[in-house]
Amino acid sequence: MSDATKVSVALGARSYAIHCGASFAALPATLAPLVRGRRCAVITNTTVQPLYGAPVQAALIAAGATPHLLVMPDGEQHKTMATAERVLEQMAAAALDRGSLVVALGGGVVGDIAGFVAGVFMRGIEFVQIPTTLLAMVDSSVGGKTGVNLAAGKNLVGVFHQPRCVYINWSTLQTLPAREFWAGYAEVIKYGMIADADLFARLERETPALLRAITAAAPTIPNVVGSIIECCCAIKARVVAADERENGLRAILNYGHTFGHAIEQLTGYGTYAHGEAVARGMHAAALLACELGLCPQALVQRQRALLEAAGLPVRFPALEPDQVMAAFQHDKKTSAGSVRFVLPRAIGQVELVNDPPVAALRAALRAAQA
């Protein structure tokens, strides 16, 4: 896959391209029409900055921009209003204005914070996403959902704010810890489950070889990863184009997340990687679907086998069921007290179920914790 590969997100005047490739070579030319003559806040974290801060700043300068580097701490526990406020103060101190632009360089936390501050600074300025983790590449960098966490729940404060473009250099995955790669892979498996049975079957074939390559003494990122990322982005682009603000179809992207967000909230953000919580949530969601008669046991086992082949956890933590049930009420997808779950009917097909019977929910939780 070359740097010229593009996936379009069709949103009328807010349309943009996802550029997929294996280097930063095309970054200056890609960004020049967006950033030339503008001041840019490059928001990154303490892990990513030493790795990719310099080449991205150099690309921005080559594109005619004036970059200002803003470095935040690494980790989900820093995705807070306090962090957002510090970044906003730094943006003001750097004399950014309504004509300035934000560049998000990092994983999902950086992208969410950067997109959020871009959406509220001066009542909204433009931004671009340069994701450096698998999870951000296939999921959080695309679609314009931004947010920060509250003690009451995950992503409860945020805005819809679409990027002007997304630039994916999947060679950055070479420096990603294996645990974070596989956490992102949970979201890849999610796309197969919700929308693409062929992708799911492909992952069943490819995952063992990927696991060997990434866990080898000298780890490598096979080229197949690039085409898998492109496939996931194409699925998300179609869903977002059909339902930008999650009034219907886009909710399917939350498969595994209602359970997963409860895990993150109750165990403390950072105990589990987001994808690890989602993997557990996907297994619990499949068990709930089976309990409700929506899908066969064979689907539960097939999904579990793929998650485990990727080294992902499936057992739900030993949390008090009443606390889990209460956490569902704080999920941002809950409306008027009605809790919505995305549940599978078949590989590649899911449906939205509101307020499943409490007895079925508790049975699924017991099975997921067993």
pLDDT at 333 over 70: no
Question: If you average pLDDT over residues 233-252, what whole number do you get?
Answer: 95
pLDDT at 3 over 60: no
**CA gap 190, 311 in Å, rounded:** 15
Q: Are 149 and 80 in contact (CB under 8 A)?
A: yes
**CA gap 301, 84 in Å, rounded:** 41
**For residue 4, what pLDDT is reported?**
58
- What angle do the packed helices 27-35 and 54-62 form, to 10 degrees? 60
pLDDT per residue over 145-197, tens digit each? 999 999 888 889 999 999 999 999 999 999 999 999 999 999 999 999 999 99
**For residue 169, what pLDDT is reported?**
97
**For residue 2, what pLDDT is reported?**
43
Which positions are annotated as active-site residues?
123, 145, 187, 236, 246, 250, 254, 257, 261, 274
Residue 41 — φ and ψ, nearest 5°?
-95, 115
Strand pairing class (101-106; 126-131): parallel
| Vertex 133: Cα angle to 130 and 139 (nearest 5) | 80
Confidence of residue 1 (pLDDT cuts 50, 70, 90): very low
pLDDT per residue over 70-129, tens digit each? 999 999 999 999 999 999 999 999 999 999 999 999 999 999 999 999 999 999 999 999
Closest alpha carbon to 259 in 319, 194, 338: 319
Neighbours of 6 (CB within 10 A): 16
Alpha helices (runs of H) in the chain, residue ranges in sequence order: 27-35, 54-62, 81-93, 108-120, 134-135, 178-195, 197-214, 224-242, 257-267, 274-291, 297-309, 321-328, 358-369
Domains and CATH numbers, the chain: 5-175 (3.40.50.1970), 178-369 (1.20.1090.10)
pLDDT at 323 over 50: yes
Binning the chain into helix, strand and coil, the percentages to the nearest 5 are 50, 20, 30
Residue 102 — φ and ψ, nearest 5°?
-105, 135
Structural tokens at position 136: 């951000």
pLDDT at 334 over 70: no
**CA gap 68, 91 in Å, rounded:** 9
Cβ burial of 201 (10 Å; 0-12, 13-18, 19+) is middle
